[in-house]
Amino acid sequence: MAQRVAASDGGNKKTSRVRVAVRLRPYMSKQDEKSEGPCVRGLDSQNLEIINWRNATETVKYHFDVFHGEQTTQQEVFLSSVKPILPHILKGQNASVFAYGPTGAGKTHTMLGSSDQPGVIPRAVREVFNLVKAKDEDDGWDYSIGMSYLEIYNEKVLDLLLPSSQDLPIREDKDKNILIPGLTHTTISSFADFDKHFVPASLNRTTASTKLNQRSSRSHAILLIKVVRTEHALPHRQQTGKLYLVDLAGSEDNRRTGNQGIRLKESGAINLSLFTLSKVVDSLNSGTAIRVPYRDSKLTRLLQDSLGGSAHSVMITNIAPEYKYYFDTFSALNFAAKSKLIVNKPFTRETVAVPVLPVKRARDDHEAGGSGT
Ligand code: ADP
Ligand code: MG
């Protein structure tokens, strides 16, 4: 018997919907000291299941717009979740891409990646340049590309391109565009030019803190790519399209880790922004809310004109398969899911494919089921 727990997929096709993708990172034996194996596995391109801790003979099955399994490449994530929205930026429309999930689940890998495996940010920036280059003279518009890079830390807005700056205010103009007066905005002429500004600014983000991991997992890093196009003909109409690429703070529950003082204050602030974001995404996707609570946090206020409404938004929820992430995975899935279903059957370990298992001991644990390539 399958019992319906929640269903809110409701066939809501409004453009304000936030597309939700889930990406499961590969199992890492070093994250699994007790060698318990994974507790989550993909089922197909939209569904996954996780062991139900209340009753180990059951799994909970979740349904999303897209599920990216542990074998999914950076290129595949980009092609399916991000590339399709980029042409809109050249037409004066806004878009946002978020990486959500607990610290250690792959948000930065997804957004930034490495030089071997570049993530969404470098791929998206390259593609925006390619799209602009592909426009010919007959297009009738001139294009200019610019960037800003900021961080929201403790509900403070900080300019990563000008690290000495103080908390910046968020404003709305008469056309309901959200802007930050005083935030550095740099015109960029190529991908190399972008990198020249972006790389040192990324370092600003981490070296600003003594406990760099803590800080980067507690702040939201927000890259803005802006495309302004100006019509050749009179009256030289101008259109601006904004793309926000966001590596969110870790979604783990900081109250459980016994934080005190400044850390506790940070947790409260992070929880406020992420909590508000979840309320905003919920209201947009259920289509039932009277009010979308954008103004309740800095993050959602900043993204107000680029999340929901006529904007194109994608949330990539990153999860990790090891048991130590279990409760954070559960809460991330409950945030992201279109629906979930409790399924009365045991978690079938033998079909879990574990491709990345460098440690012998952990591999033995899974070989019993005859998988592992
Ligand atoms: P987060 O930013 O959510 O804290 P990271 O992106 O830093 O997480 O990922 C944690 C670790 O897992 C890093 O070492 C990262 O390289 C690795 N990792 C994350 N996702 C993947 C993936 N899909 N494939 C391979 N390695 C991954
Ligand atoms: Mg990170």
Which pLDDT tens digit goes with each residue over 209-245? 444 456 667 889 999 999 999 999 999 999 999 999 9
- The protein residue whose alpha carbon is closest to atom 22 in ligand 1 is 25
Q: Is 60 exposed, middle or buried (0-12, 13-18, 19+ CB in 10 A)?
A: buried
Q: What is the pLDDT of residues 82-127, one digit of tens each?
A: 999 999 999 999 999 999 999 999 999 999 999 999 999 999 999 9
Residue 106 Cα, ligand 1 centroid: separation in angstroms? Answer: 4
Interval between CA 366 and ligand 2 midpoint (Å): 28
- The whole-number average pLDDT for the span 165-184 is 95
pLDDT at 267 over 80: no
Confidence category of residue 368, pLDDT binned at 50, 70, 90 = very low
Per-residue pLDDT of 5-61, as tens digits, reads 333 333 334 457 899 999 999 999 999 989 888 999 999 999 999 998 888 789 999
- At residue 341, the pLDDT reads 72
105 within ligand 1 shell (Cβ under 6 A): yes
The pLDDT value given to residue 8: 39
Contact by Cβ (8 Å): 150, 186: no
pLDDT value for 308: 87
All residues with CB under 5 Å from ion ligand 2: 107-108
Helices (H) and strands (E) in the chain, counts: 10, 16
Spatial distance between the Cα atoms of 200 and 192, rounded to a whole number of angstroms = 13
Q: Give the C-alpha separation, 89 to 240, whole Å.
A: 8
- Indicate which atom in ligand 1 lies nearest the CA of residue 99: 3
Ligand nearest to the CA of 117: 1
Return the pLDDT at 12. Answer: 39
- Ligand 1 pocket residue status of 68, Cβ below 6 Å: no
ipTM over cut 0.85 = yes
Amino acid at position 123, single letter = R
Distance from C-alpha of 275 to C-alpha of 273, rounded to nearest angstrom: 5
Task: State whether the beta carbon of 109 lies less than 6 angstroms from ligand 1.
Answer: yes
Q: Tell me what pLDDT residue 17 has.
A: 87
224 in contact with ligand 1, CB cutoff 6 A: no
Q: Give, using CA atoms, the residue closest to atom 18 of ligand 1.
A: 106
Token pair belonging to 232? 């050749």
Mutate to test the pocket of ligand 1, among 23, 25, 216 (most ligand atoms within 8 A of CB): 25
Q: Which of 273, 322, 313 is nearest to 88 (CA)?
A: 313
**pLDDT value of position 6:** 38
**Given the CA of residue 28, which atom of ligand 1 is nearest to it?**
12
* 301 C-beta closer than 6 A to ligand 1: no
pLDDT tens for 128-149 read 999 999 997 788 999 999 999 9
| CA pair distance 369, 299, nearest whole angstrom | 45
Predicted pLDDT at 53:
81
Are residues 70 and 355 in contact, defined by beta-carbon separation less than 8 angstroms? Answer: yes
Number of Cβ within 10 Å of residue 163's Cβ equals 15
Q: With a 6 A CB cut-off, is 42 part of the ligand 1 pocket?
A: no
- Residue identified by tokens 């929640």 is 6
pLDDT of residue 363: 38
Work out which ligand 1 atom sits closest to the CA atom of 217: 4
Across the chain, mean pLDDT equals 83
